[in-house]
Amino acid sequence: MAFDFYMPDIGEGVVEGEIVGWKVKEGDKVKLDQPLVEVMTDKATVELPSPRAGTIKKINFKDGDICPVGKVLVVIEEDGGAAATTGNGNGHGHAHAAPAMHAAPTAPKAAPAGGAGIQVVDATESRDRVLATPATRRLARELGVEIGRVPATGPHGRVTTDDVKRFKDSPGAPSAGGQVRAPSYAPMSIAKGGEEERIPLRGMRKRIAESMARSKATAAHFTYVEEIDMTELVSVRDRAKSRAAERGVKLTYLPFIVKAVVSGLKKWPMLNASLDEATQEIVRKKYYHIGIAAQGPQGLVVTVVRDADKRSIFDLSKEIDRLAEAVRTNTATREELTGSTFTISSLGKLGGVLATPIINFPEVAIIGVHKIEEKPAVRNGQIVIRSLMNLSISVDHRLADGWDGAMFLQDVKALLEDPTTMFMEMV
């Protein structure tokens, strides 16, 4: 018999997923637990295995499509002796078996009388996610409206289709929280002008585009830059490299920067915070999960070093390397890619002279780490060669002022320039 496999509820308040790529096609024979499709939610990609053995009868969403939780993803014609299923009135069964990522699928909820289809409620009430039906999300995309910026009037903070239409008609109107929204624009079409290649915007690149656009449209960015004399820290790191190597640790400057950042955040807690837009509350976080922006095979991702304040320099180095390897091999888990409270962006030796990094929304600030170079510097009236580096910090001016950003960076500078004081600051 035919078996309906619904898009599962992968958890963490996820209400939809993007189809990254199918591993099967209609007519293919599949085995139990054989990989069917890769689905991306936020920054994590999961592989959904087949809950039944049989033949792929119908694939309902193609690569690049957005599939809401509770929609039939694929129909499988089962082999003989299939497990019992629950009928849906159309001769098909509902998928209730949990897939390999240990997230139980969610069957669709009954539509209300004269209803508009499936409605999925975010049971976690995560305010980083927008509550809206798939039809409302589709309308927002069609109108070129960023749904995360639409004031919600529906139950439980749900964005309705009327909310989207009102926002489109009055793009400059203030939200329920009193914040003035920037205008939204219709999607721009690029006319063909010669030989070209067109690449679908999907998967990780699409998530990065959405995240960066949301951050720039929401946070009021300003950037402050300071020059850091890394000469003493270069010497400390050179002396510690051999001892680190004995422990299997490749010691870089990042663990030292993480420690200095955490110390600064404890003094300037407004930079380790987020704005709860739904309740209009500033949330100061008393835990320190430091994001490390890293380039992976699919694009830029932020890995998260949890409880960085409780880790040693060597432990931080090991964790940063482990997370970087997980990104390179595309095996990073959702927990390793979410939940940061402050982010460090570094390109290592390619760090350049200056950058103005975009804040990792919904955080308040991000530091850009640039390359260390030997340059002439004036010390005590003499020109000497020192190892100099620039640090830049982008801050959300809604929550923190220039004074906060500058003083925070001055504290980080003091610790990096005199590592002995950094060690005294450590827990």
Q: How far apart are alpha carbons 47 and 39 in whole angstroms?
A: 6
Q: How far apart are alpha carbons 120 and 139 in whole angstroms?
A: 16
Which of 65, 401, 404, 418 is flagged as catalytic? Answer: 401
397 is an active site residue: yes
Q: How far apart are alpha carbons 318 and 247 in whole angstroms?
A: 10
**Backbone φ, ψ for residue 20 (5° rounding):** -80, -45
Contacts of 216 (CB under 8 A, 6+ apart): 358
276 is an active site residue: no
Give residue 296's Cα distance to chain centre. 13
CA distances from 375 to 233, 353, 378 (A): 16, 13, 10
The order of strands in the sheet holding 35-41 is 44-49, 35-41, 16-22, 66-68
Which of 33, 94, 321, 397 is flagged as catalytic? Answer: 397
Residues with catalytic function: 397, 401
